[in-house]
């Protein structure tokens, strides 16, 4: 059977969050708050990130706002420059495909209709897709500001797809798995050890869709 396969990008096809985690760690050490623990600083940053949005540019803005709120001193120009470097270093890393991704896409693309479905800053995600070298495996790439139930309903309707033969493949329960299932799609959950913790959620199989959990992207070749 030929399926419609929506495939997430960050931490499903290539490494992403490890670079944000390193930048966050470096920032917290730089802030060196005299009273708050690392976890407490991270909680403040998390709240600001929820408002700022996704991508390295918004992440940098979140770091600057966190520093402004928590630093017990006036923010100096050199502080701003250093914090901006934490954000810029994320973009400096070469894009690294996860193990087995290219070989698996090479196997899947003749057999099924693949669509890259990712969320985040449009320009930043577009550049990642271009740098990845795997854009040609997908019929199209769709970049959205958020992946929720409404998004999945809208994309399926716009592409005129049959929900029963459509699967969402990703690593994030909050964005990839639960809303896709709630929208009546099937889902393949491929956990990543460094999934952004704000994307963590208990996987909830709702609706009529099937749920498949795999340990690696390459395992898709067994089922599809």
List the domain boundaries for the chain.
Answer: 4-14+96-223, 17-92
CB atoms within 10 A of CB 144: 17
First to last CA, the chain: 9
CA angle centred on 200, ends 203 and 56, rounded to 5°: 140
pTM over 0.85: yes
For residues 104-138, one letter each, b for 16 or more C-beta atoms within 10 angstroms of the residue's C-beta and e for the rest, the string is: bbebbbeebbbbbbbbbbeebbeebbeebebeebb
Residue 212: both structure tokens together: 């498949």
CATH node for 17-92: 1.10.150
Question: According to the model, what pLDDT value does residue 153 have?
Answer: 97
CATH class of 4-14+96-223: alpha beta
| Cβ neighbours for 182, distance < 8 A, ≥ 6 positions apart | 149, 152, 204, 206, 207
Question: According to the model, what pLDDT value does residue 48 have?
Answer: 96
Question: According to the model, what pLDDT value does residue 204 have?
Answer: 87
Can you list the alpha helix ranges (DSSP code H) found in the chain?
17-31, 38-52, 56-70, 77-92, 101-108, 122-132, 149-159, 178-182, 220-223
Question: According to the model, what pLDDT value does residue 92 have?
Answer: 84
* Contact present, 174 and 167 (Cβ < 8 Å): no
Q: What is the Cα gyration radius of the chain?
A: 19
* Contact present, 127 and 94 (Cβ < 8 Å): no
Q: How many Å apart are CA 203 and CA 213, to the nearest integer?
A: 10
* Contact present, 43 and 66 (Cβ < 8 Å): no
Nearest CA to 218 among 198, 190, 182, 192? 190
Question: According to the model, what pLDDT value does residue 187 have?
Answer: 98
Question: According to the model, what pLDDT value does residue 208 have?
Answer: 82
CB atoms within 10 A of CB 46: 15
| Cβ neighbours for 139, distance < 8 A, ≥ 6 positions apart | 113, 114, 115
Question: According to the model, what pLDDT value does residue 110 have?
Answer: 98
Question: According to the model, what pLDDT value does residue 206 have?
Answer: 74
* Contact present, 65 and 157 (Cβ < 8 Å): no
Under-70 pLDDT residues of the chain:
none
């Amino acid at each position: 059977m030929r399926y419609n396969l929506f495939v997430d990008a960050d931490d499903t096809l290539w490494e992403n969050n490890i670079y944000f985690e390193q930048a966050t760690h470096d920032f917290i050490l730089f802030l060196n708050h005299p009273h708050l623990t690392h976890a407490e600083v991270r909680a403040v940053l998390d709240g600001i990130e929820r408002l700022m949005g996704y991508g390295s540019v918004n992440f940098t803005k979140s770091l600057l706002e966190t520093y402004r709120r928590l630093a017990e001193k006036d923010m100096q120009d050199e502080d701003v420059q250093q914090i901006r470097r934490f954000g810029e270093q994320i973009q400096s890393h070469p894009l690294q495909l996860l193990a087995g991704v290219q070989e698996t896409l090479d196997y899947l693309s003749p057999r099924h209709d693949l669509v890259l479905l990712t969320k985040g800053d449009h320009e930043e995600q577009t550049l990642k897709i271009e740098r990845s070298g795997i854009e040609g495996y997908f019929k199209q790439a769709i970049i959205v500001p958020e992946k929720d139930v409404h998004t999945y309903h809208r994309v399926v309707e716009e592409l005129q797809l049959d929900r029963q033969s459509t699967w969402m493949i990703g690593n994030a329960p909050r964005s990839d798995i639960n809303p896709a299932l709630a929208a009546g799609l099937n889902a393949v959950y491929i956990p990543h050890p460094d999934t952004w913790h704000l994307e963590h959620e208990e996987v909830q199989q709702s609706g009529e869709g099937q749920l498949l959990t795999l340990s690696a992207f390459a395992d898709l070749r067994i089922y599809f």
